[in-house]
Structure 1
Amino acid sequence: MTRKYIAKDFLKLAAKGHSHEAFRLYVGSNFKHHNVYFKGDANTLMLAMEEAFRLNPNKVIEIHHAIGDKDFVAIHSHVKQNKTDLGVAVVHIFRFEESKIVELWDLGQTVPAKMINENGMF
């Protein structure tokens, strides 16, 4: 199982409401998260993902790119809370130790209804 596969599966599981399974399978015991809106530990993020699914059970994640470099994997995706939501372009950056995710950054940009840039976000 590659690190790219693990990162993608982690996001897919979390989006479908299986955050406990995602963390059990793929997250290391020394996990750190870098999002200014949450505490930086695994349990806080796992519970936030669980709550996000409860609020938006029809969440859609479409992965566009997966890039790996040594201990890092970056995933560029389109996350929508439901099928009609314009969504957010998100980049998740995972740091691995062996086959476990030990650090995670997530950066997002809202998809506007009208774009000036003809190339789009994806």
Structure 2
Amino acid sequence: MHACLKDRALDSLHMATSGEIRLAYRRHVAPGFRHHNAWFAGDAESLMLGMEENHERFPRKLVQVHHALEEGDIVAVHSHVRLQADDRGMALAHIFRFEGGLVAELRDLGQPVPGQMQNEHGMF
């Protein structure tokens, strides 16, 4: 039996954002992986190289997970990501689809945190 898929998703995010991108791929990504990030070709290697470039530019990226939900083979993670300690960052939602305990498909959606918000409840 595989570890809780939510734990696997969180581990892969932690590894990827702390610079252990290739290890995260070896440990968590299924053969035939695809993603839906509009900024990269849809294959695993393109996204991996983009993540490595991002880590080189922002090695002190901060990620605070606020929610992680698991239903069947889908895990959704809502987090606050700041590329640098002094920026407002983005609200991100990662949606993982697993096959055999490995990430087969990934979607990520983001919204910048504005300087002033109309919503008194905030984004997190």
TM-score range relative to shorter protein: over 0.9
| Pick aligned residue for 1:56 from 46, 55, 58 | 58
Q: Could you say which residue in structure 2 is the equivalent of 1:88?
A: 90
CA distance in 1, matches of 2:59, 2:28: 22
RMSD: 0.6
CA distance in 2, matches of 1:12, 1:112: 25
Q: Could you say which residue in structure 1 is the equivalent of 2:119?
A: 117
Amino acid at match of 2:39: Y
Identity of aligned residues (%): 48
Q: Number of residues paired by the alignment?
A: 122
Q: Could you say which residue in structure 2 is the equivalent of 1:24?
A: 26
Q: Offset at 1:79?
A: 0.5
Amino acid at match of 2:87: D
Q: Offset at 1:85?
A: 1.0
Q: Offset at 1:36?
A: 1.1
**Helix, strand or coil: the match of 1:113?**
coil
The 5 Å alignment of 1:62-101 reads 62-101=64-103
Q: Deviations over 1:4-63 (max 9, x none)?
A: 011111111111111101000000001000011110011111111111000001100110
Amino acid at match of 2:53: E
CA distance in 1, matches of 2:38, 2:51: 15
CA distance in 2, matches of 1:95, 1:40: 15
User: Normalising by structure 1, what TM-score?
Assistant: 0.98
**Helix, strand or coil: the match of 1:89?**
strand
Amino acid at match of 1:84: D
| Pick aligned residue for 2:48 from 38, 46, 49 | 46
Amino acid at match of 1:61: V
**Helix, strand or coil: the match of 2:123?**
coil
Structure 1 gap segments, 5+ residues each: none
